[in-house]
Structure 1
Amino acid sequence: MKKTLLFLVFILGIIACNKKKNTIIPIKEIIFDKAESLFNKNNNDSAFYYFNKVVTNSRDSLHIARSYNFMSIIQSGAGDYFGAQESLMLSLKFLDGEKEKDFACLSSDYNELGLNSINLKRYELALIYYDKALFYYNKGIKLSKNTGFNLTILNNKALAYQKAKKYAQALKIYNELIPEKSKNQEEYARVLSNIAKTKWLQNSGYNAAPDFLKALSIRETENDLWGLNASYSHLMEYYQQTQPDSALRYAGKMYQVAKKLNSPDDKIEALQKLIELVPPNQIKQYFATYRKLDDSLQTARNAAKNQFALVRYEAEKNKADNLILQKDNVEKNYQIIKQRILLAFTVLLILMGSVISSIWYKKRKQRLELEAQNTIRENKLKTSKKVHDVVANGLYRVMAEIENQDGLNKDHILDKLEVMYEKSRDISYEEPQLADQNFQEKISDLLQSFATETTKVVVYMGNTAELWTKVSGDVKYELEHVLQELMVNMSKHSEANNVAVRFEHTDNHINVYYADNGIGISEGTQFNNGLTNTGNRMNNIQGEIIFDIKAEKGLKIKISFPVS
C-alpha cells in the first residue's frame, strides 16, 4: 500500500516540480536532463548519482532545489526516510516562498515531508509526526497550483488524519474527494476503500464489507494490481477477528499480488498476517520466508543508505579536487578519455568477434566430424545386422535342410543359394524385402526347416492366411527374421528335441508363443548380437519379445506386436 502512495506521489511530484502555469521550466544543463531521464526509467541509483552532481556543481538555486527533491523521492523509495528528510530540508533552503516560480517545488517538498513524517512514525511512536505531516500538507496545498496534485495532497492529508485517529476530519476530506475521483475508476475505488476503512476504524461495528468488495470489484475490472494489493490488505484486517478463514484467504491473495509487484514491504505485511492466521503446522514455512525477506530488505536499505552517503561524500571530494584543475585541462582529459574508451571498445569488439568466430568454427567442425562418425557407425551396425540376419541365418537354414532331409532336391537347394547370393549382393540396400502373399506358408516352411531326426518342430493352430491379412510387409519382414534367429539359436544351443510354436490374434495384437524343452537360458546370460537384434527389430514394429528364463525346464518366449 505504501508503494502505491509513493508511486502516485513520484509522478505528480515530477509534474509539480516541472510545471509553472502549465509551462515546462527550461533546464539547460545536460547533467540534470540525464538524471531526470534515468529517474523516469526507474534507474534510481544512477539518477541519484547525477542529481548529486547537479547539487554539487550547479549555481541555479531552483535547479538545485529540484534535484534535492528528486533525491528525496529516491531515498524514500529505498527506505532511507531520515536521508530523504535531510534532502527535503536542503531543497527548502534554495527556495523562496515569496517567488511564484518556486511554488510548485515548494508544494512538492511539503508533500514529501508529510509522507516522510508518516513513514517515520513507524520508528518513533509519537503523535507529533502526524501533526507534522498535517502541517506540511496544509502548506503544500496553499502553494500548489496544480489541481491534480492538490487532490493527491488532500488524499495524503486524509490518510494522516486516519492514522492519527482523527476519523471525522479524515472522512470529511474523503467525502469531498469522491465527486472528483468518481470520474476515474481506479481513484474512485481508492477513495471508496479508504472511506470504508476509516468508518470501520471509527466504529468497529460498522459493516465495511460492501464498500471494500465494491472497490475490489472495480480494481479487478481495471486490473489495478496496486489497488488489489490495498483491497486485500483492508479485507484481511477487517475479517481477522470475525472471520479468520476469510482473512487467511485475503492474506494469501495479498501475498501473491505483492510478489507480482515485487513489493518487499507488502510481502512482509502479508506474511505477518499469514503467520498469525495459518494452522500451526504451516507457521514454520511462512516464518522462514518472512525472516529471509525481512533480513534481505533491511540489508538492502542499509546498503542504500550507505550508498547515498558514499555518493555524496565522493561528490564533495571530487568537487574540491576539480576546483584545482583548469577548464582546459578538464576538456582535454575528457577528450582523451573519450578517445581511449572508443579505442578500447573497438579493440574489444574486434577481439570478441575473433574469439566468437574461432569458437563457432571449431564447434562446427567438431559437429560435422561427429555426424560423419555417427553415420559410419550406424551404417556398419546396419550392415553387420543384415549380414547376420539375412546371410548367416539364411545359410544356416540351408545347411540344416541339407543335413536333415532325405532325398535332397538339388534344384530346390540351388534356388535357395541363388536367393542368398542375390541378398548378399544387395546387402547395403536399406529397403527391406516385403513378404509375399503366402506368408503363413513361408513361416511354416521356415519353422519346419529346422526339424531334424532328433528335434521335432510342431506349429500349432493360428498360422492362417486370415491372421496375416492386416499385417504390413515391413512387420512381416521383421517377424520372419526374429523367428529365424530364435530357431537358429535353438538349433545351435538349446539341445531341445521338442519345439512348439503357436499363433493367436487378441485385442488388435498378434501373439506368437515359442516353447522348447532344451537347457533354457540362465539368469545373467549375455545375449549375442543375434538375440540383441531381435529386440531391436521388435522395437521397430512397436512390439516386444519376452524371455521366460524362470521356466522349470526349457525356454518359453512370447512375441507380441500390434496388427496396424
Structure 2
Amino acid sequence: MKNLKFTFLFFVVFSCFLIASCTSKEEVKSSNTTALDSISLFMKDMKNNDLDFNTRLNRANRALQKIENKRSDTRIEQILAYKIYLFGNLKQLDSAVSINKALIQINIEKNDSVAIANNYYQLAYYYFQNDKKDSAFIANKLSKEIYIKLGDSSKIGENLAQMAIIQSGLGDFIGSDNNAIQALKYLDKDNLVYISAIYNSIAISAKKRKDYKEAIYWYNKAIETSTINSFKAVKSGNLAVVYRYLQEYDKSIAIFEELIKGGSLDNDIKAKSRVLDNLAYTKWLANENENVSDDLLAVLNTRREENDLWGLNASYAHLADYYKNKNPDIALKYARKMYKQAKLLNSAEDQLEAMQKLIELETSVKAKEYYHTYIKLSDSLMDAERNKLNKFEKLKYDSEKNREDNLQLKITNSKKELQLEKEKTRNIIGAASSGTVVLGLLGFLYYRKQKHRQEKRAEVYKTETRIAKKLHDEVANNMVNIMNKVQYTEDPKEQLLDDLEKVYLLTRDISHQNNSIETGVHFKKSLKNLLTSFNTTTTTIILKNSSEVTLEEIAKDKQIEIYRIMQELMVNMQKHSKATLVAISFKRTADEYFINYSDNGKGADQSELKVRNGLKNVETRIKSINGLITFETSLNKGFKAFISFKK
C-alpha cells in the first residue's frame, strides 16, 4: 500500500508534465500543413488513448524509423517521451529507464537544464517502481541539484520529499527526517499532495523507531492535509494501529469504526478487509472475552476470494493469537499457515513473527528446531539490513566524492605553494604545543585511573550491600521458616528436604552472581558455565557458535565486563520474562565481536526498560569498553539485546 501511494503521487506529476510538454511541442508544427505525412500519422496513433499500449508503442517505433535526421529533428524527443510513458504502463520498467537515459543524453548535448532536471526526476520514478530505491535516490538528488541552480523551489521540495520517502524505507530515519523538513521549507503551502506525503513519511519513520507518540502527531497532520480520501483512510488506519501499540484501544477502535461507517472503503475490498480485521483484533486485545472469531473468519474468507496474499498473512497472525489460549491446536494450525504464507511472500520479518508463535505452540522438540531457525534468520535479517544501509550510505558518499574529484581538477599549483607555507607554520606550532599536549594527556590518564578506582570501590560496596541484603531477605528468612517447621509442625521429611533444596538453590544463585571471574584462556568455559546454569525444568538455554568464537582472545578487562553484562541479562530474564526458551548466539568478524540475546518471554513496553537498574548497569558496562548495546522488545513479543564491541 505504501508503494501504491507513492506510485500515484509520481503518476499525477508525470502525467501533467508529459501532457503539457507534448502539447507545447505539437504547436511547433506549421499551421500551414494541410496533409499529415506518415510520421505525423504514426505520432497521432501513438497518442491515441483509444488504442492499446502495445499498438501505440508500435506506432512510436514506426515514427522513429521514418525520421531521417536523427540528430536535429525535435520530434525525436517527443516520441521518446511517449515511449517512456508507454513502457511504464506496460510494466516494462527496464526499457522505460533505458529510453529515459537516452533522452537525458540528448538534452545534455542541447544543454537544456530544465529538460535534464525533469528527466532525472522521471528516471527516479521508474527506478522506484522497479524497486531500485538506491538508484532512485541518486536520480532525485541529481534532479534537485539542477533545480537549485534554476531556482525552482517547488521542484526542489518535491525531490527532497521523494528522497525522504526512500530513506525512510531503507532505514535511514535521521536522513529521512532531515530531508522531509527541508522539503517543507521549499514546497508551496497549497501543494497538499506532497505536504501530506511528507508528514506521512515522518510518521512512518517515527513508528519504525517505536516513537509512537511522535508518530501520532505526524499522522494527524498527514490526515488533516490529505486531499485524497483513499490516502486519508490509509493514514487513519495507520494511526489506529499506533494507538493499539500504545494500548489505547478505545481510540483505536473508534477510528476503525469511523472508517467503516464513512463509506470511503466501500469500493476497495482489500482496504476494507484490512480495517475490519484490525477492528476485530483490537476489540479482542481490549477484552480477551470478546468473541470476534466470526469477524476474523469472515475477513479471512474474503481475502481468499480476492487472492489477497498479504492480507491472508495478517489474518493467520491474528487468528493464531486469538486462539492461543482458547484452543492451542487451532492456533497452531494458523501459525503454520502464517509461516507458510510468509515464506511464499519472502517476508523475513513475518517469518520471524510466525516462528515466535510456533515456538510457543509446538512441542518442545519441534519448538527447539524452530528456535534454531529463528536465530539463524534473525541474524541474517540483521546483517541484510546493515548491508543495505551501508550500501546506501556508500552511494551517498560516492555521489559527493564525484563532485569533489571534479573540483580537484580545477585546483592550481599555487595551492601547493600555500600548503608548503602552512606546513612550516604548523611545524613551529607543533613543536611548541607538543609538550603541552603530552602533559595534558598524562593528566587526563591520571584522572581516568583515579576515577576508575573510585568506580571500582563503589561497585565493591554495592556488591557487598546486595549480597548482605539477599542473605538476610532470602536465605535467613527461609532458614527461620524451616527451623519453625522442624520445631512446631510435623511436616514430612520430604517437605523439609524440598525447603532445604530451595535454600541451597538461593545460595547457589548468589554465589553465581558474585563469584570471581576466570579470565584469559579459561574465560570461554567460565561464561558458558554461567549461561547454562540458568537452565531449569521450565527454561531452556541454547548457545549458538560459542565454541567457534575465540572469546579467550578478548582483553581481560573486557572479559569481565562481558561476563557481568550476560549475567545481568540472564538475571533480568529470570526475574521478569517468564521465558521458556533463551537463545544466545556469538559471531566474530576480523576485529569485532557480536553477541545476540533473544528470549520468548512476555517482553515489556520500551518505557519500562528505562527504570530497570539491571539494564542500566548493562548500558554503563558496555560503554566502559566502547561497545554498543540495543534492546528490542514489546509486550508479549519477547526480549532481544544486540551487543557489539571491538577486540
Q: TM-score, normalised by structure 2?
A: 0.45
Q: For each residue in 1:495-515, what CA deviation from the matched residue of structure 2 results, as whole angstroms up to 9, or x when unmatched?
A: xxxxxxxxxxxxxxxxxxxxx
1:238 is displaced (CA, Å) by 1.0
Aligned to 1:107: 196
1:186 is displaced (CA, Å) by 1.3
Aligned to 1:71: 163
Distance 1:88 1:152 in 2: 21
Structure 1 residues 67 and 290, CA gap change in structure 2 (3 angstroms): farther
Given that 2:157 and 2:187 are in contact with CA atoms closer than 8 Å, whether structure 1 keeps it comes out as no
Aligned to 2:614: none
- Of the candidates 176, 201, 217, which is equivalent to residue 258 of structure 2? 176
1:55 is displaced (CA, Å) by 4.2
1:235 is displaced (CA, Å) by 0.6
1:57 is displaced (CA, Å) by 4.9
Distance 2:242 2:191 in 1: 25
Aligned to 2:271: 187
Distance 1:201 1:136 in 2: 25
- Of the candidates 156, 163, 174, which is equivalent to residue 238 of structure 2? 156
The equivalences for 1:4-403 within 5 A come to 8-16=1-9, 19=12, 23=16, 28=115, 29=117, 30-59=119-148, 60-78=152-170, 80=171, 83-96=172-185, 99-121=188-210, 129-178=211-260, 179-323=263-407
1:134 is displaced (CA, Å) by 1.3
**Higher RCO by CA contacts (8 Å cutoff, separation 6 or greater):** 1
Which structure 1 segments of 5+ residues have no match?
A: 1-7, 122-128, 327-564
Taking only the aligned residue pairs, the percentage that are identical comes to: 36
Q: 219-228 vs 267-276, which deviates more?
A: 267-276
Distance 2:168 2:179 in 1: 15
- DSSP-derived class of the 1:300 partner: helix
Distance 2:187 2:403 in 1: 31
Runs of 4+ in 1 over 6 A off after TM superposition: none
1:255 is displaced (CA, Å) by 0.8
Given that 2:154 and 2:187 are in contact with CA atoms closer than 8 Å, whether structure 1 keeps it comes out as no
1:224 is displaced (CA, Å) by 0.3
Given that 2:237 and 2:255 are in contact with CA atoms closer than 8 Å, whether structure 1 keeps it comes out as yes
- DSSP-derived class of the 2:284 partner: helix
Given that 1:236 and 1:248 are in contact with CA atoms closer than 8 Å, whether structure 2 keeps it comes out as yes
Distance 2:252 2:388 in 1: 34
Structure 1 residues 98 and 305, CA gap change in structure 2 (3 angstroms): closer
Given that 1:69 and 1:88 are in contact with CA atoms closer than 8 Å, whether structure 2 keeps it comes out as no
Partner letter of residue 177 of structure 1? L
Q: 55-64 vs 84-93, which deviates more?
A: 55-64
Given that 1:65 and 1:95 are in contact with CA atoms closer than 8 Å, whether structure 2 keeps it comes out as yes
1:66 is displaced (CA, Å) by 3.1
Given that 2:137 and 2:163 are in contact with CA atoms closer than 8 Å, whether structure 1 keeps it comes out as yes
Distance 1:139 1:33 in 2: 28
Aligned to 2:497: none
Structure 1 residues 57 and 299, CA gap change in structure 2 (3 angstroms): farther
Distance 1:267 1:51 in 2: 33
Aligned to 2:464: none
Distance 2:143 2:388 in 1: 20
- DSSP-derived class of the 2:184 partner: coil
1:50 is displaced (CA, Å) by 2.6
1:98 is displaced (CA, Å) by 7.9
Distance 2:408 2:184 in 1: 30
Given that 1:95 and 1:106 are in contact with CA atoms closer than 8 Å, whether structure 2 keeps it comes out as yes
Given that 1:52 and 1:312 are in contact with CA atoms closer than 8 Å, whether structure 2 keeps it comes out as no
Q: TM-score, normalised by structure 1?
A: 0.51
Question: How many residues align structurally?
Answer: 309
1:137 is displaced (CA, Å) by 1.2
Given that 1:200 and 1:207 are in contact with CA atoms closer than 8 Å, whether structure 2 keeps it comes out as yes
